[in-house]
């Protein structure tokens, strides 16, 4: 007993001491900032508030002069430790006050070891995988002089026409919040001054994923109830996780561009959340308030952004050219400017840039693309893959197989498998599925034919070779999907079918009678109803990154077992969009797929004979595949759903548990998902909401009780006036996806 108490006393003393040290350090930093600001001219303050791309600085000599004159506080897209040190030296040793530059870059899902796209990382439902992936990205980026990344992108995204869904963590607020926290921790670690960590950036604040029509940069109309319940929570999770910066967005939110939006940037972020990090605009999004029609000119744009609370202007010059006038006119006061400069300088101190402004130029060689980093990338890819279908358990394949046909435009595309938002990844470092399968099976067993040059190829001239490869093989491994350029920023699509003649290629190889394993690489969910019917097995790998090939090969041959679950709903057709699992019930819910084939409607059907419920006459109302869906090579049984109580108070909690058994023949992981439904509320509530999950690995035959604590606080929502936890009746499910699960009921009293 004595040992324990001594340990606890020691722990308390240590904690107290470290708190005192950090308080003292904060005090020192604050006073150093105050002293610096007291010496700064307005031009130097505006320099700190300005971030430019090297191309905007008029070449190296002009850049150095601008830095020397204190006109630049941050540069984005400057690459390489030597190049960074070169300009940093001017800032630190030649400018009047020696304030270091902060160097930023979009390191979204890897620097040179490219991880799965964030939508794929979310499909792993494994926060540790996401954290490890971003920690690798941070270490590699930091070794090349980068201090700050513009990630994680945590815009809830319900529309796969929007190309940036690839960068998101999908449609669900809870899963995105879990990933937001993990990714921030991965990038930032526990100490921003650690040379292996970089500042993260919660973006795009806020509502950018709700672009009307899924068309990028389009307007967003989000009622406050939906904004606070669906779109804000991931940003609050990032803020609570200590994210160093936020980025405002391109979209106008209910008529007010988010880069000039006082409600979001001032009331919510600063006043309600008490956030004291730094806010940067998106690329020229301050100047873009002019084409938005929200500012008549750069001066008004500057006033709007400064009034709302954007500390740093990225890639436009509204601040630099207009703040003096705004001060003279009393529209902005110097205290505001000083507050913004403080936020910027505080970040530079936290990063240790004043003490350690330069990057060790020998670091990159020892850090980038290490075997450990590639292992982490391969593990992340493996856990991100979602098995959508496995007819007759054709997968996993046996190593004894005599030959495989490897076919398709994505079978050997080292560039495309990396996915969108890859600035520094090099395709020569990618290991493609063809390479990995050939290494695994040997040349003699692999018959390769691309069939189509790229995903959009219209010519079928390559089909004959593909059919020939199929005919001389035991099984076809067909790699279809999207080139990486078809998703990402400004890459919205109005049609989500496979591009080009890919489906025809599938039909052609299917016609040989060989079993077809379809592997789809894409930056979003696609409308693949036809392809699911044609293929025997379908593995969705998103864009899997540098190590996608070995991860796919190992999974197809059973060295790893699929454990991914969909972070998005798959629509049958683009016309169903938006379609997501946590939808409202409406007053006339469809409760079965009454009509999915318009041709089955009888001629001269009478007006109300088709059922007055919320569905499509030509697509029903169900999606193709539900959120949370994913198969395994093994199988799992759920039983014995238990609640510690069927009632709880508004401050209470109940433990929900279920027995999970691995009833298959492979050791495998299952994501046990907990959903609730608030049956009645002071505003209508979704038919289901994810409120917890656990990824559990079990051996064949093994059973484990899986418990998740559900707090009444987890059921809080905004009802248009207040955040409330309302008494009432609830449903709860524990299961394998958002459609299937054991059901129970509870109430809050």
Report, as residue numbers or ranges, the catalytic residues. 282
Applying the rule CB under 6 A, the residues between 50 and 89 that interact with ligand GLC are: 76
Applying the rule CB under 6 A, the residues between 629 and 688 that interact with ligand GLC are: none
148 binds ligand GLC per the rule CB under 6 A: no
Q: How far is the CB of 319 from ligand GLC (least distance, A)?
A: 17
Longest dimension (CA), the chain: 87
424 binds ligand GLC per the rule CB under 6 A: no
User: Nearer Cβ to ligand GLC, position 167 or 670?
Assistant: 167
524 binds ligand GLC per the rule CB under 6 A: no
**DSSP per-residue codes, 51-110:** EE-GGGGTHHHHHHHHHHTT--SEEES---HHHHHHHHHHHHHTSSS-PPPEEEE--SS-
User: Nearer Cβ to ligand GLC, position 149 or 689?
Assistant: 149
- According to CB under 6 A, which one of 131, 132, 282, 350 is a site residue for ligand GLC? 282
Contact partners, residue 740, CB within 8 Å, separation at least 6: none
Q: CA–CA separation, 388 vs 539, rounded Å? A: 6
300 binds ligand GLC per the rule CB under 6 A: no
User: Nearer Cβ to ligand GLC, position 283 or 340?
Assistant: 283
Q: Count CA within 13 A, CB hemisphere, residue 38.
A: 6
Q: CA–CA separation, 700 vs 487, rounded Å? A: 39
Burial tier of 126 (Cβ tally within 10 Å: 0-12, 13-18, 19+): buried
Q: CA–CA separation, 153 vs 687, rounded Å? A: 27
User: Nearer Cβ to ligand GLC, position 185 or 203?
Assistant: 203
Q: How far is the CB of 294 from ligand GLC (least distance, A)?
A: 18
User: Nearer Cβ to ligand GLC, position 133 or 631?
Assistant: 133
- 3-state per-residue secondary structure call for 304-352: HHHHHCCCEEECCCHHHHHHHHHHHCCCCCHHHHHHHHHHHHHHHHHCC
- According to CB under 6 A, which one of 187, 283, 580, 636 is a site residue for ligand GLC? 283
Which residue lies nearest ligand GLC, judged by its C-beta? 150
User: Nearer Cβ to ligand GLC, position 202 or 369?
Assistant: 202
Q: CA–CA separation, 81 vs 89, rounded Å? A: 12
Applying the rule CB under 6 A, the residues between 331 and 390 that interact with ligand GLC are: none
Find residue 476's DSSP bridge partners: 405, 516
- Per-residue contact track with ligand GLC, 547 to 586, x per CB under 6 A? ----------------------------------------
203 binds ligand GLC per the rule CB under 6 A: yes
Q: How far is the CB of 278 from ligand GLC (least distance, A)?
A: 14
313 binds ligand GLC per the rule CB under 6 A: no
CA 749 to each of CA 32, 189, 724, 726: distance values in angstroms, whole numbers, following the listed order: 53, 41, 13, 8
150 binds ligand GLC per the rule CB under 6 A: yes
Closest CA to 718 of 747, 680, 683: 683
Q: How far is the CB of 246 from ligand GLC (least distance, A)?
A: 12
Q: CA–CA separation, 440 vs 160, rounded Å? A: 35
Residue 42 C-alpha from the chain's centroid: 38
Q: How far is the CB of 461 from ligand GLC (least distance, A)?
A: 38
Q: CA–CA separation, 557 vs 398, rounded Å? A: 6
Count of residues near ligand GLC by CB under 6 A:
7
User: Nearer Cβ to ligand GLC, position 150 or 162?
Assistant: 150
106 binds ligand GLC per the rule CB under 6 A: yes
Rg (CA), the chain: 27
Q: CA–CA separation, 148 vs 73, rounded Å? A: 13
489 binds ligand GLC per the rule CB under 6 A: yes
Which residues of this protein are in contact with ligand GLC, per CB under 6 A?
A: 76, 106, 150, 203, 282-283, 489
């Amino acid at each position: 007993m004595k040992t324990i108490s001594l340990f606890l006393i020691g722990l308390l003393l240590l904690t107290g001491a470290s708190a005192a040290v950090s308080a003292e350090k904060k005090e020192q930093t604050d006073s150093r900032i105050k002293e610096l600001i007291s010496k700064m001219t307005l031009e130097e303050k505006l320099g700190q508030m300005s971030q430019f791309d090297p191309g905007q600085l008029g070449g190296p000599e002009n850049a150095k002069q601008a830095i020397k004159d204190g006109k630049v506080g941050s540069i984005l897209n400057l690459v390489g430790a030597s190049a960074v040190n070169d300009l940093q030296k001017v800032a630190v040793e030649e400018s009047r006050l020696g304030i270091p530059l902060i160097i930023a870059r979009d390191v979204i899902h890897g620097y040179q070891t490219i991880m799965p796209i964030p939508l794929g990382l979310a499909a792993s439902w494994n926060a540790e995988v996401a954290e490890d992936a971003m920690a690798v990205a941070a270490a590699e980026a930091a070794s090349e002089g980068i201090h700050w990344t513009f990630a994680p992108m945590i815009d809830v995204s319900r529309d796969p026409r929007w190309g940036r869904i690839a960068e998101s963590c999908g449609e669900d607020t809870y899963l995105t919040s879990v990933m937001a926290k993990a990714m921030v921790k991965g990038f930032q670690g526990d100490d921003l001054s650690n040379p292996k960590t970089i500042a993260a950036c919660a973006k795009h604040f806020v509502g950018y994923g709700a672009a009307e029509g899924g068309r990028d940069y389009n307007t967003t109309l989000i009622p406050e109830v939906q904004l606070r319940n669906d779109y804000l929570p991931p940003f609050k999770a990032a803020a609570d996780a200590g994210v160093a910066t936020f980025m405002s967005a391109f979209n106008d939110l209910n008529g007010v561009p988010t880069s000039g939006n006082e409600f979001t940037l001032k009331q919510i972020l600063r006043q309600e959340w008490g956030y004291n990090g730094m806010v940067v605009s998106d690329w020229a999004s301050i100047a873009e308030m002019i084409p938005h029609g929200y500012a008549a000119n750069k001066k008004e744009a500057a006033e709007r952004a400064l009034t709302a609370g954007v500390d740093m202007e990225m890639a436009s010059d509204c601040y630099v050219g207009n703040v003096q006038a705004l001060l003279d006119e009393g529209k902005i006061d110097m205290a505001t400017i000083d507050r913004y400069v403080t936020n910027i300088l505080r970040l530079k101190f936290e990063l240790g840039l004043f003490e350690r402004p330069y990057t060790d130029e020998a670091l990159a060689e020892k850090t980038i693309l290490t075997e450990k980093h590639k292992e982490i990338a391969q593990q992340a890819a493996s856990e991100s893959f979602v098995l959508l279908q496995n007819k007759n358990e054709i997968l996993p394949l046996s190593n004894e197989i005599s030959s495989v046909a490897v076919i398709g435009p994505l079978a050997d595309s080292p560039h495309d498998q990396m996915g969108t938002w890859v600035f520094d990844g090099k395709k020569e470092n990618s290991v493609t599925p063809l390479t990995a399968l050939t290494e695994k099976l040997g040349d003699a067993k692999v018959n390769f034919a691309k069939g189509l040059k790229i995903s959009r190829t219209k010519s079928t001239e390559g089909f004959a070779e593909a059919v020939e490869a199929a005919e001389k093989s035991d099984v076809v491994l067909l790699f279809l999907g999207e080139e990486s350029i078809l998703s990402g920023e400004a890459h919205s699509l109005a049609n989500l079918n496979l591009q080009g003649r890919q489906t025809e290629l599938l039909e052609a190889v299917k016609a040989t009678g060989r079993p077809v394993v379809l592997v789809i690489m894409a930056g979003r969910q696609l409308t693949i109803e036809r392809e699911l019917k044609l293929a025997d097995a379908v593995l969705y790998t998103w864009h899997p990154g540098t190590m996608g090939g070995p991860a796919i090969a190992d999974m197809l041959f059973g060295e790893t077992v699929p454990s991914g679950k969909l972070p998005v709903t798959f629509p049958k057709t683009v016309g169903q969009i938006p379609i997501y699992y946590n939808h409202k019930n409406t007053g006339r819910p469809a409760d079965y797929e009454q009509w999915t084939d318009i041709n089955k409607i009888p001629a001269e059907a009478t007006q109300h004979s088709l059922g007055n419920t919320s569905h499509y006459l030509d697509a029903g109302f169900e999606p193709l595949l539900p959120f949370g869906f994913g198969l395994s090579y093994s199988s799992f049984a759920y039983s014995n759903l238990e609640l510690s109580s069927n009632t709880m108070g508004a401050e209470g909690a109940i433990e929900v548990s279920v027995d999970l058994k691995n009833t298959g023949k492979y050791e495998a992981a299952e994501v046990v998902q907990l959903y609730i439904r608030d049956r009645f509320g002071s505003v209508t509530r979704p038919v289901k909401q994810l409120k917890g999950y656990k990824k559990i690995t079990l051996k064949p035959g093994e059973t484990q009780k899986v418990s998740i604590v559900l707090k009444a606080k987890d059921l809080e929502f905004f009802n248009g006036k207040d955040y409330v936890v309302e008494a009432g009746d609830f449903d709860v499910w524990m299961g394998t996806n958002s459609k299937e699960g054991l059901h129970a009921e509870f109430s809050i009293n």
